[in-house]
């Protein structure tokens, strides 16, 4: 019998509406297949420069140190902590979901004394609560906060939070993994010191690179730290020498992933950043309207709902995994289950990058109506689709 690994790989086409990765446009996939260059080839340096220039535009920053880390988003989270934090430093992490918990864990592994400020899942981080907490904790090196909490579908008001962090004299480390490219992220205007993201969500590339940007103040902290960064791979001092004009060898970059990111960013520039953000807002509004017409409640608080990721309550008596399995097997649609406190209670629907399209909203709502009906849940057929259509037809992009 022939082993399966001897067969040509033919992955099935799926509609990716989970918390990431999102669908990748054929143009980006085409860029992945271009000839490999050496990572020290002068022609590749131009590709690197193009990527950095466009990333600065997406982050809305002039920071020189704006690069894609050779990793997924978690690696960028680790890069932020490993370079800013030294053993014995104190850091406060605002936890309002699963990724705030992860940020605190990584900071602790980097040697920080970590304090946490917990906010109920489904709620945004409150600036006044943070101000009160910071008064109790003088001398913090940094404060970590998640802009877009992927586990809960919540967007926190970053400008206000960063202002509060700077009043205390700490650096602001911001997780924008799910917001960059789908919501406004204005690094310089908001005064963010360290901001990181990932390629597989609103940026529209495959997973494998993680954009990060550090302000001059943050890079000053990195340059002047007396102790070595505990990670060789994520050490920004050495990485900076590769990305600047020195082009000093550090590691072999993922060449073709860099091509893919360049093409994905180029597509964003063609569409227009504001247009892309509006597209994410429009399809998210349609999904929410359709879900509520189906009788599903939204778990993120109103006024702080994340457009690229929506958390829907699972109706009582409905089996989470069974519905997701039916979506995947019968309709080729992937959505995510809940994490942490929301495990078994929420479906996480991602409308990010190339996946943020009206047709995907209609396909998902139609499939949910059929599946839930078969499970004995009362469905008014067509109601969710009508609600979504009305929302799209009347949505104001301005």
| 246 shares its domain with 337 | no
Q: Residue 356 in 3-state DSSP?
A: coil
Both 235 and 282 in a single domain? no
Same structural domain for residues 257 and 300?
no
Instruction: Examine the domain organization and report whether 246 and 151 are in the same domain.
Output: yes
Same domain? 280 vs 385: yes
State which of 206, 240, 269 marks the end of a domain.
269
| Residues 190 and 238 reside in one and the same domain | yes
At residue 254, the pLDDT reads: 96
Same domain membership, residue 292 and residue 365: yes
Domain of 188, in residue numbers: 26-269
- What is the C-alpha separation between 193 and 188, in angstroms, rounded? 9
Compute the distance between CA of residue 16 and CA of residue 21 in angstroms, rounded to an integer.
Answer: 7
> How far is residue 56's CA from residue 69's CA, in Å, rounded to a whole number?
14
Whether residues 83 and 221 fall in one domain:
yes
Show which of 209, 238, 269 is a domain's final residue: 269
Query: Would you say residue 38 lies in a domain?
Result: yes
Instruction: Evaluate whether residue 284 is within a structural domain.
Output: yes
Position 18 in a domain: no
Q: Is 392 exposed, middle or buried (0-12, 13-18, 19+ CB in 10 A)?
A: middle
Total tally of structural domains belonging to the chain: 2
89 and 236 assigned to the same domain: yes
Joined tokens for residue 204: 């529209």
Q: Both 117 and 179 in a single domain?
A: yes
Contacts of 313-318 with C-beta under 8 Å, sequence gap 24+, read: 313/345, 313/346, 314/338, 314/344, 314/345, 314/346, 314/347, 315/372, 315/377, 317/375, 317/376, 317/377, 318/372, 318/375, 318/377
181: Cα separation from own chain's centroid: 9
Whole-number pLDDT of residue 244: 82
What integer pLDDT is reported at residue 77 of this predicted model? 97
- CA dist 318 and 372 (Å) reads 8
According to the model, what pLDDT value does residue 243 have?
Answer: 85
Which of 204, 236, 269 lies at the terminal end of a domain, its last residue?
Answer: 269
Q: How far apart are CA 393 and CA 348, in angstroms?
A: 25
Residue 170 belongs to a domain: yes
**How many angstroms separate the CA atoms of 398 and 278, rounded?**
8
Do 226 and 370 fall into the same domain? Answer: no
In a domain? residue 3: no
Instruction: Show pLDDT as tens, one digit a residue, over the chain (398 residues).
Output: 678 888 999 999 999 999 999 999 999 999 999 999 999 899 999 999 999 999 999 999 999 999 999 999 999 999 999 999 999 999 999 999 999 999 999 999 999 999 999 999 999 999 999 999 999 999 999 999 999 999 999 999 999 999 999 999 999 999 999 999 999 999 999 999 999 999 999 999 999 999 999 999 999 999 999 999 999 999 999 998 888 888 888 899 999 999 999 999 999 999 999 999 999 999 999 999 999 999 999 999 999 999 999 999 999 999 999 999 999 999 999 999 999 999 999 999 999 999 999 999 999 999 999 999 999 999 999 999 999 999 999 998 65
Report the CATH number at residue 48: 3.40.640.10
3-state secondary structure of 165: helix
- Structure confidence at residue 1 (pLDDT): 63
CATH assignment at residue 292: 3.90.1150.10
């Amino acid at each position: 019998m022939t082993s399966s690994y001897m067969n040509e790989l033919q992955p099935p086409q799926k509609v990716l509406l989970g918390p990431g990765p999102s669908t990748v446009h054929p143009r980006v996939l085409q860029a992945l297949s271009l000839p490999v260059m050496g990572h020290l080839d002068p022609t590749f340096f131009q590709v690197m420069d193009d990527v950095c220039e466009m990333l600065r535009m997406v982050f809305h920053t002039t920071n020189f140190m704006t690069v894609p880390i050779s990793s997924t988003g978690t690696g960028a989270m680790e890069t932020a902590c490993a370079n800013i934090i030294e053993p014995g430093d104190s850091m406060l992490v605002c936890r309002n979901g699963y990724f705030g918990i992860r940020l605190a864990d990584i900071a602790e592994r980097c040697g920080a004394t970590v304090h946490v400020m917990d906010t109920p899942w489904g709620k945004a981080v409150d600036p006044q609560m943070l101000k009160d907490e910071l008064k109790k904790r003088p001398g913090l090196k940094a404060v970590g906060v998640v802009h877009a909490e992927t586990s809960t579908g919540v967007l926190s008001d970053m400008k206000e939070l960063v202002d509060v962090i700077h009043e205390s004299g700490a650096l602001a480390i911001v997780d924008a993994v799910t917001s960059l490219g789908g919501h406004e992220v204005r690094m310089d205007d908001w005064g963010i010191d360290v901001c990181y993201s990932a390629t597989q969500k609103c940026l529209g590339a495959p997973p494998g690179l993680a954009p990060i940007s550090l302000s001059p103040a943050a890079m000053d902290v990195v340059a002047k730290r007396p102790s070595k960064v505990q990670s060789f791979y994520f050490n920004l001092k050495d990485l900076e020498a590769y990305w600047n004009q020195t082009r000093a060898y550090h590691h072999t970059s993922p060449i073709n992933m860099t091509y893919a990111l360049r093409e994905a960013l180029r597509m964003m520039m063609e569409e227009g950043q504001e247009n892309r953000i509006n597209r994410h807002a429009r399809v998210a509004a349609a999904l929410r309207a359709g879900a509520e017409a189906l009788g599903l409640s939204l778990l993120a608080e109103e006024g702080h709902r994340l457009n690229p990721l929506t958390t829907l309550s699972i109706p009582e008596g409905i089996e989470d995994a069974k519905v997701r399995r039916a979506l995947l097997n019968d309709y080729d649609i992937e959505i995510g289950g809940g994490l942490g406190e929301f495990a078994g209670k929420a479906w996480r629907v991602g409308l990010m990058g190339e996946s943020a399209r009206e047709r995907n909203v209609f396909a998902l709502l139609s499939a949910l109506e059929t599946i839930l009906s078969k499970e004995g849940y009362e469905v008014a057929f067509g109601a969710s689709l009508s609600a979504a259509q009305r929302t799209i037809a009347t949505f104001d992009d301005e």
